[in-house]
Structure 1
């Protein structure tokens, strides 16, 4: 008698890029293509030992240099493909600004709930994340690595688990942190979150 157990879905590893000057200062970094700091390069290199025991069928990275360099220093640059949908949230008029500064003009402002003129709102980023999830689930792969950015990866995990982008507000994600999405039986789950090498 053949085993009729359905094949488990893929594990999707989310890897946030290492530190940049703007991530260190708390400035929103969406479309600005900023480099890793020296500390960010050390963080990215430290990821190599954490990821070395994994075999990835697919490695995708944001087109931004901070994600590409993190991927390279983590030892997966030779397998990586650029995936435009992994780019960070477009912060529009708030690009390069800190939340505290924005709130001087817009009290209670939050990237998760407030309008973002000339940029993307949470629903738009959530739709982008869902489209990427749908594409990844259509692939015949069991292990995927995604190198991307804090707000986008938080949104992706939120959409994966609940279809609600706003859950991302509750998922803190450090620089050069690793998280894993997968399944608990047939239910999508956040398997690991915000691991440091």
Structure 2
């Protein structure tokens, strides 16, 4: 049993490093091209469960990668950044030195505990499947997903860079949850 994680293709906001939580921005042309390139990496693989964030950048990536049957799951939306939605880390650090989503709060946004609760529900859903699962989502949420898969706090996601249109694989070595591949480009 493996779980494949796919980060959505590039958007205008991801290219300009703006925190894109719940704002439903579309893919840019380069993001659509890279999403189509994912089809070859995923081609011929059988998945018993295919989930996607309901936000259009993830849903569109799923469709372009050949998985238009992906089931939207609200628990896969990106981190709720609150007042930091649409703001870059550099701008936030002008008033909160050293800020990261992994170490500091997002005023009016989600906590790491809230993220862990909803991603744990998705993990339980994938672990209930006898075969492989495929999940389309977002940068911070998928990094947090991997941390929770390993039984670690969400903050461990800070060590897992994840580029747009990249895929990763989670699985087991014997009974131990492990990362099988990480941040593989399309």
Q: Flag whether TM exceeds 0.5 (same fold).
A: yes
The alignment's C-alpha RMSD in Å is: 0.9
Larger radius of gyration: 1
Distance of 1:141 and 1:85 partners within structure 2: 21
**Alpha carbons 1:113, 1:122 under 8 Å: kept:** no
1:116 is the counterpart of 2:103: no
1:41-89 per-residue CA deviation (whole Å, 9 max, x = no partner) reads: 0000000000002111111110000001000000111x21111111000
Q: TM-score with structure 2 length normalisation?
A: 0.97
Please report the TM-score for the alignment, with normalisation by the length of structure 1: 0.92
The corresponding residue for 1:3 is none
C-alpha distance in 1 between matches for 2:13 and 2:84: 13
1:135, distance to aligned residue in structure 2 (A): 2.5
Alpha-carbon separation, structure 1, partners of 2:9 and 2:64: 10
Q: Stretches of 4+ moved more than 3 A in 1? A: none
Q: Match of 1:6?
A: none
Instruction: Return 5+ residue gaps in structure 1 as ranges.
Output: 1-9
Corresponding residue of 1:84: 74
What are the ranges of 5 or more consecutive residues in structure 2 without an aligned counterpart? Answer: none
User: Structure 2: how far apart are the matches of 1:162 and 1:31?
Assistant: 26
Match 2:37 to one of 26, 33, 46: 46
- How far apart in 1 are the matches of 2:54 and 2:151? 27
**Matched position secondary structure for 1:162:** coil
2-structure distance, mates of 1:110, 1:41: 28
**Displacement of 1:162 after TM fit?**
3.2
Contact 1:89 1:120 in 2 (8 A): yes
**1:135 corresponds to:** 125
1:196 aligns with 2:185: yes
1:104 corresponds to: 94
